[in-house]
A = this chain, B = another copy of it.
C-alpha cells in the first residue's frame, strides 16, 4: 500500500472511528454474540489477493463492532474502567504511523527518552519522590511477574547466575491477601516459587484489607522453620471491593526479612493523581516496587501499565542481555529498557501517554476522576437509603459493592444466587453492564463507575435498572 492509498483509507477510517465513538451509547453494552459467531463470519481461506478496503470496513462494522463489549459506553460499569481516551488514541496512531522499533536506545532514542519523560511526569503527578524509576509494561500481570522475579533474585543473591531456583537451600515464600488479584498467584507460580509457598493472608471482615497481625505471624512462623520470606504483595484497591492494604505496616512487617514489597495499585493508582486522596497510598515510598495502569481509570488506551522500582541496578542485573549485535558506542550513557523487563522489542507506548497528558492536561483528568468519585458516593447514598439494599464494602473510590436482600430471604445460597440473577438481568438488558463477584465466599455485585462517558445521569439510570431488575427476579 502506497502512502497515497493509505491517505485515502486513513481518512475514511478516522471518520469511522469518530462516528463509532459518537454513537457508542446506543449499542448494547455487553456483546450479545454467541460463541463462534464472529469466527464463523470471518473464517474462510486465507486471503490470497488484495480485498477492497470497503469490504474490510464492512466486516469491521457488521461483525467486529457487535462482537465487542462496549467498554467506552456510558453504561459500562463492569470489571474496571478501561478508558481509551481519544487523545491517547491519537498518540497510539502516531506511534503506529511512525513504525519505530524499540530494541535498544539506538534503534529509537526518542522512544526510550520519551518513556523516561512521561514516566517521570506521572511520578510527579502522583506525588512520588525521585527515587523511583519507571517503565511501561503491557499489563499489571507482567509488571507483577517482573517484581516477583526481581524479589526472587534479590532473596537469592542472583541465583539465576548459578543453579537458579533449583539449587536454593530453603524455600522462598511469598505473601498476599486473599483479596489480591489473580495475577499475583499466577506470577508466583510462573516465577517458580510454587503454590505451597504462597501464603494467602486473611483480611479484615469489614474493610477487606490485609490482616497485619496475621501477616506478621505467618512471616515469623515461616522464618522459624527455615523458610525465607522473599516478597509481600500489597494491594491498593483490590479487584473485589477496592480495599486498601496498609502499606506502611506491610513495609515494617517485611523489613526484618528483607522481603521485597511490591504494591499493586493497577486500577486505583489513578486516584494518586488526586492529592486529597493520597492518604490511601501512605507508605508507598517505603516499598520496593509500585505498579499501576493508566490504561484503566485514567484512560490512556491499553496497553499502558507502569512499574516503578527503586533499585534499578538490581532490575538490570536480573533482566539484562548484551549480545554483540545490540552493542553501540553510546551504551554507557543511555537507558536500555530491554534490560528492565521481559521483552526485547517494545512499541512506542510512551506516545499515547504523551499525547494524552498534553492534549487533555492533568487538570481535566483530575476533574473527571473527582466526578466519578462523587457519582460513586451518590450511588452508595441511594442504596444506603433503601432498606433492602446493602452497600457491602467501604466505598473508598469509584466501586460500589451492592447486595439486594428480598424480603424474607435469609438463606445464604439463595442470596448468592439472587445477586447473580439480578446482575444478569441488568446485563441482558443491554443498557448497562455490571460484574458479580465472590468476596470471602459470598456473591455481591460490583458497580465500577468510571467510564470516561459516564455522567451522573447514567448512574441514576443504572440505579433504576438495578432496582427494577432486583424486583423482577425477587420471589
Contacts and interface: CB of A to CB of B under 8 A. Distances in A.
A51 interface: yes
A99 interface: yes
B139 A166 contact: no
A446 B326 CA distance: 12
Interface string A1-40: 1111111011101111111111000000011011111110
- Chain A interface main SS type: helix
Interface residues of A, number: 162
Given A106-B69, A172-B166, A355-B56, A79 B197 contact: no
B50 A141 contact: no
A346 B303 CA distance: 7
A310 to B, nearest CB: 21
Q: Copy number of this protein in the oligomer?
A: 2
Interface stretch (A111-119, A206-214, A386-394, A460-468): A111-119
A97 B22 CA distance: 12
B94 A89 contact: no
A218 interface: no
Interface in A103-158: 103, 105-111, 113-114, 116-117, 120-122, 124-125, 138-142, 145, 149, 152
Given A49-B364, A68-B108, A164-B189, 6 more contacts: A31-B106, A35-B333, A46-B362, A50-B361, A160-B190, A182-B322
Interface string A64-98: 11111101100000110011111101101110111
A334 interface: yes
A288 to B, nearest CB: 18
Interface stretch (A278-286, A337-345, A371-379, A407-415): A337-345
A156 B249 CA distance: 37
Interface in A349-366: 351, 354-355, 357-364
